[in-house]
Amino acid sequence: MADVLVNHSESPRYFEPISLQQMTSKENEKESMESYAQQSSGMITEELPYNVETTEEMLEKGFMQYGCMHYRRRCRIRAPCCNEIFDCRHCHNEAMNNINVDKMQRHDLPRHQLRQVICSLCGTEQEVRQVCSNCGVCMGKYFCETCKLFDDDTSKNQYHCNGCGICRIGGRENFFHCYKCGCCYSVLIKNSHPCVEGAMHHDCPVCFEYLFESRNDVTVLPCGHTIHKNCLKEMREHFQYACPLCSKSVCDMSKVWEKFDREIAATPMPEPYQNKMVWILCNDCEKTSKVQFHVVAQKCLNCNSYNTRQTRG
């Protein structure tokens, strides 16, 4: 006779016997259900790496394949000023400041007011963000939410300067912000550059491009004024060695002044001019001197520079 267990029901009036075989069968069924639940959970867990891989692949999709001559990026922008679509703000500025555009319609794009971008892969227009809200593609490896800047080419070592209020290239560790000059300079001249208030907040004195937002290399002259590196090179090719703004020498001219000495010594003035004296102002040291007149040049008695101008005769 089989053993029985007493199973108390809700009613105390009776009880029903259950065999050990039936109990074992129920326990086995319960274990099977738990095992199935664990296996199901394991299947979900095994699928996660695949989903992560898919997400990463989507983020990388189209990398360095889209953009313009200014930036490699996977989005276009809608200009808040004219509601037109462009690849970037530089494309906008070039198009809207073209000579064929009416003077009253010419304008630049206010970068910080940008609100809408269009994904280059799926065409979805959305608020400014790094990852597309529709297809999940990364629209720019480098992304600055303040400047609304997207760029896949991170070899530029972009960084955002809070002092300038815009993004710069070249690596944060290689530059410092001078608050008097109002711009970022190389750390190599941190303790030696002459401060000129707002030095970069003006146009290049040669090509007249606004230096503060220029994409071309800018150099600092010994006087503290700034100029495009290529423009300075062009000046030297035309034998112009004085700052276009203050006329100070842009490099060491001592060897040139020695040649002037020899030329003046070899070129005596006619007798009526041999005792003629004039007042000069030196552009380099800003001192005045009374010197003997010569048709070639007048030498500063303070710093021996020939970068002078006659003030009175």
User: Does any domain span residue 232?
Assistant: yes
Give the per-residue SS3 of 107-147. CCCCHHHCCEEEECCCCCEEECCCECCCCCCECCCEEECCC
Q: Is the pLDDT of residue 16 over 50?
A: no
User: Does any domain span residue 61?
Assistant: no
Element (H, E) at 55: helix 20-60
Range of the structural domain that residue 228 is part of? 161-237
Q: Which of 111, 136, 156 is the last residue of a domain?
A: 156
Mean pLDDT of the region 206-228: 92
Q: Which of 127, 156, 185 is the last residue of a domain?
A: 156
Residue 54, pLDDT score = 65
Q: Do 201 and 135 share a structural domain?
A: no
User: Does any domain span residue 24?
Assistant: no
User: Does any domain span residue 55?
Assistant: no
Instruction: Annotate 241-254 with b (16+ C-beta within 10 A) or e (fewer).
Output: bbbbeebbbbeebe
Q: Is the pLDDT of residue 224 over 60?
A: yes
Q: Over the stretch 248-280, which tens digit does the pLDDT of each residue have?
A: 999 999 999 999 999 999 999 998 888 899 999
Q: Is the pLDDT of residue 237 over 60?
A: yes
Q: How far apart are CA 241 and CA 249, in angstroms?
A: 6
User: Does any domain span residue 276?
Assistant: yes
Q: Do 301 and 233 share a structural domain?
A: no
Nearest Cα to Cα of residue 228 among 207, 197, 256: 207
Q: Do 166 and 151 share a structural domain?
A: no
With a pLDDT cut of 90, the percent of the chain lying above it is: 74
Among all chains, which residue has been given the structure tokens 């102002």?
281
Residue 21, pLDDT score = 45
User: Does any domain span residue 246?
Assistant: no
Q: Which of 156, 189, 211 is the last residue of a domain?
A: 156
Q: Secondary structure of the chain: what % helix, strand, coil (to 5)?
A: 30, 25, 50
Among all chains, which residue has been given the structure tokens 């030329």?
263
Q: Is the pLDDT of residue 58 over 90?
A: no
Q: How far apart are CA 245 and CA 221, in angstroms?
A: 11
Q: Do 144 and 91 share a structural domain?
A: yes
Mean pLDDT of the region 150-171: 94
Q: Do 212 and 195 share a structural domain?
A: yes
Q: Do 179 and 141 share a structural domain?
A: no
Q: Is the pLDDT of residue 200 over 60?
A: yes
Dig out the tokens for 107 from the structure.
Answer: 């304008």
Q: Do 146 and 166 share a structural domain?
A: no
Residue 1, pLDDT score = 36
Count of domains for the chain: 3
What CATH number has the domain bearing residue 273? 2.20.28.10
User: Does any domain span residue 36?
Assistant: no
User: Does any domain span residue 226?
Assistant: yes
